[in-house]
Amino acid sequence: MYDVIVIGSGSVGTPTAMSLAARGVKTLVIDSGKSAGQGNNKCAIGGIRATHSDPAKVALSLHSLRTFASWEEIHGDSIGWHMGGYTFVAYTEAIAESLRQMIPLQQKAGLNIKWCTPEEIAEIVPGIRKEGLIGGTFSPEDGSASPMESAFAFHRQAVKNGAEFLFGETVISIEKNTEFTVVTDKGSYSSAKVINCAGSFGREVGAMLNVDLPVYPDMHEAGITEPVKRFFEPMVVDISKAVGSANYYFYQYSSGQIVFCITPDPPQLGTGTDETSTFLPQVASRMVKLYPRLANIKIRRTWRGCYPQTPDGSPIIGEVGPEGFLVAVGMCGQGYMLGPGVGEVLARLVTGQSTEEDLMVLDSMKLHRGFSGTEALK
């Protein structure tokens, strides 16, 4: 009998188990993969930002950033952390105004961010196209790390804290009587509480307890280049639209590779992971136009992963359905950057130690909300 069973050992489930076990909660994690982080976590490109338009997301990500930034100093193992910052660039007045309007709310939520002139952006990203550049935002304490190294590090720490993991087991049903019984293809396990951290399969897991979670995955592609000597620091994000794409973003990883991704427009619903022939021409032309210095770098490989989306671009976190059933799903492609913060909120919720900030986050991200609008920087 466990206190909590966590379903999913990905970007959210693994740090959640780590935080639960650190508080003395007897925790079991079940995942169909062969080790931690084998779902969409390994498809993440590694960006970690608190630069959001939603104060609840800012709060979660600030906690996550502290975890990533201090990990090697506290625990001794490298996870590839690099504090290069994030810059959102503006080449139209509409985008510039939208970014400027967010800054006071972001700063109030605790984010270190400022508006930069074209000259300042050109210093932050040497060689960026100056023609038409109006400016942009820069949040210097955002950064990046390795999704796989992080997953393994969080798993090691969770086990050290006392959490148990079962890999290679698929959950096929959940029953609730006086306690929960989680049935897999290999056995059954009992607990007082269950946390659904199943990512792209969060809706299916919710349905096992007759809870409808509006989580609909769509597919995104990414790529990586050969390593080169560092020549810029931040993640560069262009939220302008073009034919076939809503935005794109790229950064230089700690070991020198350029990692990049694009948001398809319209969205490509599904859970497929096969690369397409359209991605590379789309993203390459946009990146080189913005940053000509990228033109001659060789691309090593591309891949495809899923973003578990919600109607408004924000996660669903908290207790739903039968008493003791908690969810942390619908991360909209931001599970990696939100995961440690979400894990802390869930651990405090389970142990009755929620803070005022936690309650704000849980209210903002509850299942029964209007789902109106869309988080501007999702």
- CATH number, domain of 256, equals 3.30.9.10
Answer whether residue 376 is part of any domain.
Answer: no
pLDDT the model gives residue 374: 81
Answer whether residue 371 is part of any domain.
Answer: no
| Sequence-separated (6 or more) residues with CB below 8 Å from residue 319 | 325, 326, 327, 349
- Of 308, 329, 349, the residue at which a domain comes to its end is 308
Residue range 44-51: mean pLDDT, rounded: 98
Q: Which domain holds residue 166?
A: 2-72+146-215+311-364
Judge whether 215 and 34 are in contact, CB under 8 Å: no
Are 127 and 237 in the same domain? Answer: yes
Taking the CA atoms of residue 107, residue 199, residue 375 and residue 232 in that order, the dihedral angle to the nearest 10 degrees is: 60
For the stretch 63-97, pLDDT in tens is 999 999 999 999 999 999 999 999 999 999 999 99
Whole-number Å distance between alpha carbons of 341 and 150: 14
For the stretch 139-182, pLDDT in tens is 999 999 999 999 999 999 999 999 999 999 999 999 999 999 99
| pTM across the whole model | 0.96
For the stretch 217-251, pLDDT in tens is 999 999 999 999 999 999 999 999 999 999 999 99
Are 278 and 239 in the same domain? Answer: yes
Q: What is the mean pLDDT of the chain?
A: 97
Are 98 and 64 in the same domain? Answer: no
pLDDT > 80? residue 378:
no
Are 44 and 161 in the same domain? Answer: yes
pLDDT > 80? residue 342:
yes
Indicate the pLDDT class of residue 373, thresholds 50, 70 and 90. confident
Whole-number Å distance between alpha carbons of 225 and 119: 28
For the stretch 7-28, pLDDT in tens is 999 999 999 999 999 999 999 9
What is the Cα 226 distance to its own chain's centre? 24
Answer whether residue 375 is part of any domain.
Answer: no
Phi, psi dihedral angles at 59 (to 5 degrees): -60, -50
Q: Domains in the chain: how many in total?
A: 2
Answer whether residue 334 is part of any domain.
Answer: yes
Are 119 and 105 in the same domain? Answer: yes
Are 152 and 297 in the same domain? Answer: no
Q: Which long-range contacts (CB under 8 A, 24 or more apart) does 35-38 make?
A: 35/9, 35/152, 35/155, 35/167, 36/9, 36/10, 36/151, 36/152, 36/154, 36/155, 36/165, 36/167, 37/9, 37/10, 37/11, 37/147, 37/148, 37/150, 37/151, 37/152, 37/155, 38/9, 38/10
Are 232 and 136 in the same domain? Answer: yes
Are 223 and 297 in the same domain? Answer: yes
- Of 273, 288, 308, the residue at which a domain comes to its end is 308
Answer whether residue 378 is part of any domain.
Answer: no
Are 197 and 292 in the same domain? Answer: no
Are 165 and 300 in the same domain? Answer: no
Residue range 326-330: mean pLDDT, rounded: 98
pLDDT the model gives residue 202: 97
CATH number where 62 lies = 3.50.50.60
pLDDT the model gives residue 375: 80
Are 259 and 115 in the same domain? Answer: yes
Answer whether residue 370 is part of any domain.
Answer: no
Answer whether residue 373 is part of any domain.
Answer: no
